[in-house]
Amino acid sequence: MDVEILVIGNEILIGKTLDSNSHWMAKRITRYGHHLKRITTIEDSLTAISNTLREILKRNPDMIITSGGLGPTFDDLTLEGIAKGLDRKLELNEHAYNSIKKAYNHAYKRGILKLEGMTKERKKMAFLPEGSLSLPNSVGTAPGVKIKEQATEIYILPGVPTEMKSIFRNIITPLLKE
């Protein structure tokens, strides 16, 4: 299987944050005998995300894995950028919404957060590209996302390493072992 990784984040591009995610994923992809063709790092911008996704799709990989940009802040633009790159609309995904709400309520009850409930920013995380499947995030708030574009499976993962690893282990590793 041919795989490409797309890392999204200004903090990685400027050297503020070390990209340990792509290194970790690369080891596992190649361990199971797959061909990692490219790792690309881009800024948090709709244009960069949509254009880069289109470029990757032209190379026809079997799988694309993205990391980063799924949170509630203004610069978390991955889902919107992916939707734009695929010419799809964003739609509220009920499964994603419910899992996000549950995660935030749990964090509030544990005293981790001071604000209970769903804000506009938190709800934004539940708007997924049309035809997407929400993937469970057992250790954080942002669900992963799976979407198919022609013959390419696209997995959109959070940038927080513990969250990315959890979804990768539960969803992607079994596919790599096939």
Give pLDDT tens digits for 53-102.
999 999 999 999 999 999 999 999 999 999 999 999 999 999 999 999 99
**The dihedral sign for the CA sequence 41, 178, 85, 70:** negative
Look up the pTM and report it.
0.96
pLDDT tens per residue across span 138-172: 999 999 999 999 999 999 999 999 999 999 999 99
Q: Yes or no: say if 154 and 79 are a contact pair by the CB < 8 Å rule.
A: no
Coil, helix or strand at residue 143? coil
Instruction: Return the CATH class of domain 2-88+130-177.
Output: alpha beta
Q: What is the DSSP string of 8-67?
A: E-HHHHTTSS---HHHHHHHHHHHTT-EEEEEEEE-S-HHHHHHHHHHHHHT--SEEEEE
Rounded Cα distance between 34 and 3, Å, is 7
**The dihedral sign for the CA sequence 96, 102, 103, 105:** positive
For the record, the structure tokens of 111 come out as: 């005293």
Rounded Cα distance between 82 and 93, Å, is 15
